[in-house]
Amino acid sequence: MPKVQTARGGKAPFEFVGTSEKLFGEDLEDFTGEIKIVGEVEDVGKSFVVRGRIECKKIFICDRCLAQAEKNQVHKFVEEFDKAEAIDDVIDVSEFLRDELLAAQPMKNLCREDCKGLCPECGANLNEGECGCEKFIFDPRLAALENFKLE
Ligand SMILES: [Zn+2]
Ligand SMILES: [Zn+2]
């Protein structure tokens, strides 16, 4: 569990590497493999400032094409801890980091920004090529032209 050793009046670096189970005591199945957390804690007088970044790999199902995908993520964090939270000059940051990682997740999970998704007709994954279905894209201007008949 990530606990940072503070340095009175100065800065102290920290680094944690491990699975979510090891780091947070909880198996976050989206994040398989190792999660790396690097940063530093600084004594700013009235409080301790903890800052750094979380590096991880997320495995997920693409919201658009439903294929399994993975993406490397880097999340920066900075947080102020009350000095009372440091017990024997050590701050437990496990819960903070876990919450930080989960809060940083995007609303949409796409295998890539321009994921073409699935064909609404046959369900084929359009990232793998055209399925051959006719795509009807409604365009009101074209519709107006079709209704226009020469007399
Ligand atoms: Zn996709
Ligand atoms: Zn199709």
9 contacts 42 by C-beta, under 8 angstroms: no
Contacts of 146 (CB under 8 A, 6+ apart): none
pLDDT greater than 80 at residue 129: yes
CA of 137 to the centre of ligand 2 (A): 14
Mean of per-residue pLDDT scores for the chain: 91
* pLDDT score, position 150: 55
* pLDDT score, position 44: 95
Quick: pLDDT tens for 84-122.
Answer: 999 999 999 999 999 999 999 999 999 999 999 999 999
Q: Are strands 90-92 and 68-82 parallel, antiparallel or unpaired?
A: unpaired
Residue ranges with strand state E in the chain: 3-5, 11-18, 35-43, 47-61, 68-82, 90-92
* pLDDT score, position 1: 80
**Which of the ligands is closest to the CA of residue 64?**
1
Spell out which residues have Cβ within 5 A of ligand 1, the ion: 62, 64-65, 111, 115
